[in-house]
Structure 1
């Protein structure tokens, strides 16, 4: 939205000033043209008034001369030539525009002039203005530009006819006018303005042109707008036309000079208008676009900064999303850790209960109590179910120890067909698709079997009317940066059912411990969490794809094994070993009932047992026994230490085993626990490890191995 706003502002900052400048420039040009038209009209009016005064004065001079020679014929004028010369000189000599005042006879001969005395012999009998006045043509009362016949120089003449007593033509009186007088007036009138002035006859003949360089022609082009206006006899107006000399465009205002056949015209060069307009436009552009350019730069920088901010925002969003993902994963991890601790604590206590029951069942069997065989068998089945549940709980809590081994998938997976078929039920079919040369993988086989069973049971429940479960195995490799959380070589086990599928809200919680959509009593919510925990602890990953009506696919990514698959060898026949007996055992167990059951079993096996409730108490007994043995030169009163790992006090079972191993007198140790992390640490101690709940037969085998390793004099005879 901000980007669009800035772009709109940028467009507006460009378009609006351009529109404003174009409008202002257009209005300024029209205004200048209108001002030029007004200026030409005003100037033409001033020139008209001046010309009227000049021509009226000439007409007055002509009338005075006519009155001067009234009643005199040509001979009478000549006879009084000197006197008339002086009179003419006094009449016209005081006017700068007058070059000469002359009297011509009816044959065109010069009779008298103000310019010379004696009068030169001059005739104008053939001159157009003389012929025109004689013939009564009004136009010729003002002549064209010519060379003066009396005084010389460039002049034009205004004249009137002389009449005798009968009214017949008796010659003319002519006043010669200097064009330079009009040039001087027009120069003062126009000053330095880009205007021109013309004084023309109504037939288009140019009498005066200023400046002279712009009027090289003697007449106005009759095809021009001004020529057409003169031909129509228009008294005034404004026209546009081209200059006949330089072809510049002109705005021309013209006016007729009174009743005389003469016009004044004033032209304004449009090139001057354009030059002034360009100068004003440059100032307008500079004053308008200088801040506009600054504004454009600001908006452009804002857009650039906005792009940088958007990029930073996107990076921040990505970082925030990553941070939220990390925080969510951290919270999920904390939740799983808390849940795991809770489940682990419950499983630990549950294991102790199972140990008590298992020990007492074994005691009952060894004592051969009659009549309770059925009850003992039911208790043993319940013990196996409890051990399986505890195993699942510890697996979900990531506290179940893994016993990894390398297996060949192509041989191992088909061997699980019957197990999977039994889990699926009769209505569903099982299909296996195993690629050739599938890599071996390193896993806890029991945990993998449990994971497959959990998935198969879920598939069975998702296909109540029957369906198909397809098990696929193939090799897959992930490289760093490909978007997969793991990198390396993996074996992908995919279990795909044709069931009802999961909605998104269920799919998002599928791996969450204790979450189940099954009816009460039908599911524990530990199946898929066990699968996920097993894959994660094995160094792999589990993922689910599902949609309503499209079935569910569970993918297990388990790491490729670096070694060769383990080949089981058949047990070699041999002599059955005798049971171990007569060992002196220090039993360390904080749970009294577990300790009592274990002590009773060991005593039934023929061993001597001394109990301690904590590792600190056991350490104290060992210190006292070691000190006594050193003092008397004898041996320790114990052949073996059996200790639980998880117990109260400053030391746990592993700390106790490490402390014992540091003594000069070595003592064999058996550690018992159900926690995976404790077992991982226990493997780094020189001790035998039993995972709870343990089998009595396994304990007996371990005791026999320890008894064989002991010197014969260190244990009691049975």
Structure 2
């Protein structure tokens, strides 16, 4: 069964799609942004989380170390307080025994019994390592007896703070400050009580001198040696230092005033923990303190915060090393992944660009093949149409020259139809890229304002026109007639897109394209932007805007050749046309036309033509035309102009005539029978019109040749031959003028022959 034609078209379309998929396989879109954001998030997490963990662990470790140090000082100060309390209690008991020993004796009685009392004092205090001496002082502060010396030396403590304080009932002075004993020269501090007489009055002081070194040695043993971050002190309630470990020469004898520690002692606080600065080594301390029973003395245990920080730094270093070593490895892996992702994205973009370019090239190739086929078809139709127009035009001219009374109106209508047909043929040949271009250098700043009236006529009364020419716009090399036709086509489309009126703007500016910018063109161009404020085009219409014979206008309103002519003209001129549009946003058409290498020529006034008084005779013309009716009409017109015409139907026959004429000229010396050759270019046979012109110019006697064509590629070749060229359909008046010029040239040549 024979397949349906629509089925064949569908099969062809599916086959083409499969071919495109084979050449350009569909690859899913790579979401590089999501992958990059994921890797960056992982990198941030890999940086932030270890840092947060290390910070939390470091903070926790620091607080734990401070808590351990505080707990250690509290335990240590409790032991030291118990020790000091035993010593002070023993001293109080010793003082009480001494008071009982001398009870009822006055100063003289004590002096009288000094020997016995000395022995008893030595027995009572000699068994305690902390006791340096036990002494008895009189009411006036004089030394009455001591366990250390016999007889007692003459010493008075009447001016000592502890003596006067005990005498005046001051509790603080029951424990004295550190001092150097006047008799033994040993550093001590004293704990004393008052002696009372029979009547209860103050009778003197009993004092036990204690060695501070005893307490320092105990504190050293308690803290575990010299290599310790802790300190121990025994102080009075007023801050006077009684004993301190570690001790050093020249150490302060009192702690600094107005510190958290001295403020706590001044308030009478019995125990607590404060942070303060040490006066011994100028270091920050965590200090735990406890009052020694009811005595005006405190035991202090301090822990150096520098030791805490040093241990914390060591632990933090280990923590950072153990945590960030694998983290750094992870960072490097993520960073390398990001770099690899960047390289993949760049490669993907290059691949996409290459695939897009290849698709564009393939699409352009298919479009070019389609345009080539369409051009051949349109060119053949336009060529035949040109011949028909030539026949009609020639016969109209014949009718006018012979006189046709009463038919002037009808002939004028035919001539108007001829002009419309010529315009349509020009458009067809332009779209098919077969319309000959007559390029010339054009000054935009002079030409564009001159087109204002032409554009206004095309736009209509409802549309306003704005012309904006940039500064120093370059001249361009174009066919002015084709450019004007392009502007008219765009203006007409803009008018139809703005039925209720609007604005049409024409802008001219210079633009340069470089190879690295990826634009299809490179070099210097003049950009003509033509913008309207119309309804715009949907994407599906915009994609086919430059397609020949495509139109969205109602039947009879458009041919589909306007924008294709614009595109073909720009491309053949060495430039490009581009279009942008959107629904409701208007349309912008941009023409990129090449910059002219030279400046435009300045128009000069035409020289006055001197008419030749002698009437030239008619020319002997060899007409070469393969179309019988075109040949008959042209021959009749030429004969009516007074010329002699010989007509042949191809170039091969014409060349044989010339060969015969030259052979005869060589035998008889007769001149050639022709003054001029008029030939079509496209003809059947082995030779075309250009081949014939080249052969005629190769003879010894060179004849002028006029070639007639409607194809741009033939016109380009004909320009390299020294001939006159007329593009179909040509005006008969133009041919008449050309022949008259040739007649005058031949007449002048016969009058003034070359020497």
Change (3 A) 1:111 1:601: closer
Superposition pairs for residues 131-170 of structure 1, below 5 Å? 145=178, 148=181, 151=184, 153-156=186-189
**1:562 lines up with 2:601 in the alignment:** yes
**1:676 lines up with 2:712 in the alignment:** yes
Deviations 1:543-589 (A, max 9, x none): 999999999999999998414256496894867655556x7x58463
Q: 2:426 pairs with 386, 391, 408, which one?
A: 391
Q: 2:297 pairs with 231, 255, 263, which one?
A: 263
CA distance in 2, matches of 1:207, 1:442: 111
Deviations 1:577-627 (A, max 9, x none): 55556x7x58463x6776788789999986555544x75x766x4797599
State the SS of the aligned residue for 2:300.
Answer: strand
CA distance in 2, matches of 1:470, 1:334: 35
Aligned partner of 1:182 in structure 2 is 215
Residue 686 (structure 1) shift: 3.6
Residue 682 (structure 1) shift: 1.8
**1:519 lines up with 2:558 in the alignment:** no
Aligned partner of 1:653 in structure 2 is 689
State the SS of the aligned residue for 1:96.
Answer: coil
Q: Is contact 2:661–2:673 with CA below 8 Å preserved after alignment?
A: no
Change (3 A) 1:690 1:88: closer
Identify the range of structure 1 (343-352 vs 537-546) with the bigger mean alpha-carbon deviation: 537-546
CA distance in 1, matches of 2:453, 2:269: 124
Change (3 A) 1:258 1:546: closer
Q: Is contact 2:616–2:743 with CA below 8 Å preserved after alignment?
A: no
Change (3 A) 1:216 1:536: closer
CA distance in 1, matches of 2:548, 2:164: 134
Deviations 1:100-142 (A, max 9, x none): 46789999998876545x6446688979989999999998876
Residue 692 (structure 1) shift: 3.3
Identify the range of structure 1 (505-514 vs 519-528) with the bigger mean alpha-carbon deviation: 505-514
Gaps of 5+ in 2: 1-32, 748-755
State the SS of the aligned residue for 1:399.
Answer: coil
Deviations 1:199-246 (A, max 9, x none): 3456766543443668644x7789776667667765433345566788
CA distance in 1, matches of 2:404, 2:168: 176
State the SS of the aligned residue for 2:188.
Answer: strand
Change (3 A) 1:213 1:575: same
Superposition pairs for residues 64-103 of structure 1, below 5 Å? 93=126, 95-100=128-133
Residue 537 (structure 1) shift: 7.3
Aligned partner of 1:716 in structure 2 is none
Aligned partner of 2:380 in structure 1 is 345
CA distance in 2, matches of 1:327, 1:154: 108
CA distance in 2, matches of 1:197, 1:400: 113
**1:685 lines up with 2:747 in the alignment:** no
CA distance in 2, matches of 1:173, 1:688: 151
Aligned partner of 1:277 in structure 2 is 309
CA distance in 1, matches of 2:377, 2:714: 16
Q: Is contact 1:157–1:176 with CA below 8 Å preserved after alignment?
A: yes
Q: Is contact 2:623–2:645 with CA below 8 Å preserved after alignment?
A: no
State the SS of the aligned residue for 1:524.
Answer: coil
Q: Is contact 1:130–1:172 with CA below 8 Å preserved after alignment?
A: yes
Q: Is contact 1:625–1:637 with CA below 8 Å preserved after alignment?
A: no
CA distance in 2, matches of 1:657, 1:508: 45
CA distance in 2, matches of 1:276, 1:201: 28
- TM (norm. structure 1) is 0.62
Change (3 A) 1:4 1:599: same
- TM (norm. structure 2) is 0.60
Change (3 A) 1:618 1:189: farther
Q: Is contact 2:137–2:143 with CA below 8 Å preserved after alignment?
A: yes
Change (3 A) 1:663 1:459: same
Across the aligned residues of Structure 1 and Structure 2, the Cα RMSD in angstroms comes to 7.6
Residue 389 (structure 1) shift: 3.1
Change (3 A) 1:348 1:188: same
Gaps of 5+ in 1: 711-718
Residue 41 (structure 1) shift: 2.0
CA distance in 1, matches of 2:123, 2:464: 146
State the SS of the aligned residue for 1:672.
Answer: strand
Deviations 1:628-666 (A, max 9, x none): 769978889974765432246665331332244334575
Change (3 A) 1:298 1:588: same
Q: Is contact 1:47–1:264 with CA below 8 Å preserved after alignment?
A: no
Aligned partner of 1:252 in structure 2 is 287
CA distance in 2, matches of 1:442, 1:685: 22
State the SS of the aligned residue for 1:564.
Answer: coil
CA distance in 1, matches of 2:680, 2:284: 118
Residue 347 (structure 1) shift: 0.8
State the SS of the aligned residue for 2:424.
Answer: helix
Residue 25 (structure 1) shift: 6.6
Change (3 A) 1:648 1:277: farther
Task: Say how many residue pairs are matched.
Answer: 684
Q: Is contact 1:104–1:172 with CA below 8 Å preserved after alignment?
A: yes
Q: Is contact 2:456–2:465 with CA below 8 Å preserved after alignment?
A: no
Change (3 A) 1:7 1:568: farther
Aligned partner of 2:82 in structure 1 is 49
Q: Is contact 1:603–1:609 with CA below 8 Å preserved after alignment?
A: no
Q: Is contact 1:100–1:151 with CA below 8 Å preserved after alignment?
A: no
Deviations 1:463-515 (A, max 9, x none): 999x999999x9x885868999997999x9x999xx99563457897776534
Q: Is contact 1:588–1:618 with CA below 8 Å preserved after alignment?
A: no
CA distance in 2, matches of 1:468, 1:231: 95
**1:208 lines up with 2:243 in the alignment:** yes
Residue 697 (structure 1) shift: 7.9
CA distance in 2, matches of 1:395, 1:672: 17
Identify the range of structure 1 (77-86 vs 180-189) with the bigger mean alpha-carbon deviation: 77-86
Change (3 A) 1:12 1:599: same
Change (3 A) 1:61 1:537: closer
| Larger-Rg structure | 1
